[in-house]
Amino acid sequence: MPRLVRFVLAGLVGVTLAAPSAFAAERSITGAEAAKLLLGKAFQIACFDGTRGRGHFNEHGVAAVSYRRSGATSGPEERDRAAIRARGPELCVHWARFGGGGEGCYPVTEYGTGLYRIGSNALWCDVNARQDVNNVKPEANAKP
């Protein structure tokens, strides 16, 4: 068997064997665990409806976000703030305007270090919070 073919086959076997372990890393976490892991982090969001954005989660339990809805290619980004709190196994988010405003409580799944899915089934946002925030923006520090 030529060397290239053996290399490709070995790679496919390696990927096949590694795939179950990647999914095994997924775990449900409580709202309190999620809040603690997100505290002081900058993050990016990508939601089921195509909304994309970024924000900061400060030490007072407030997230400040800038986002763009799916299909919105021009104009300024929208901005909002949310109070974050834990309620048993869920993370509760109280938005001023996002998604019509109000509070919703959602399960949280951790996919890897700093990678989370907040929500389930048809309503979710993926959160990538892989870096610490040393200088949180002033608007993110205000309590709601």
Work out the pLDDT band at 132, boundaries 50, 70, 90: low
Tell me what the mean pLDDT of segment 96-124 comes to: 92
Q: How far apart are CA 79 and CA 56, in angstroms?
A: 12
Please state, for a pLDDT cut of 70, what percent of the chain lies above it: 74
The topology (CATH level 3) of 27-141 is Lipocalin (2.40.128)
| DSSP alpha helix (H) spans, the chain | 3-24, 31-38, 138-141
CB 27 within 8 A of CB 109: yes
pTM value is 0.71
CB count in 10 Å sphere of residue 126: 17
**Tens digit of each residue's pLDDT (9 = 90 or more) over 4-39:** 333 333 333 333 333 344 445 789 999 999 999 999
Work out the pLDDT band at 75, boundaries 50, 70, 90: confident
